[in-house]
Amino acid sequence: MRPLFFLCALCVKSFRFCRRPAHMPIIQFNMLEGRTTEMKRELAAKVTDTVVAVLGVKRETVRILIHEMGLQDFSVGGVTAQDRLAANGAAVNAAGAPTDYNATVLETAGAKA
């Protein structure tokens, strides 16, 4: 069986021969759905600025992945975020996402069901 070789996107060499293997940081966020595109843009911009300043990498090498999950896909203590919001009387839209994210999810995140 032949080993797999991956090329470094920046120096076009096999990662095996790349002298800068840590120059392409990838940051992942797992978040509940409901944040606006503008909020995600701001998050990406500020995280990128911080990574560039701290790690000393080029801005164009920073990768940010945002994974959104539904309220029914996240639970704390066996209670889904959707059930937690419903128990607290939060207003939700047709998709089940809170209509006012900051006023519902952030305030009830620590509430007990």
- As annotated, the active-site residues are 25
CA quadruple 52, 53, 57, 58: dihedral positive or negative?
positive
Asked if 82 and 93 count as a contact pair (C-beta separation under 8 A), the reply is: no
Secondary structure E strands in the chain: 26-32, 63-69, 75-76, 79-80
44 is written with which tokens?
């990406």
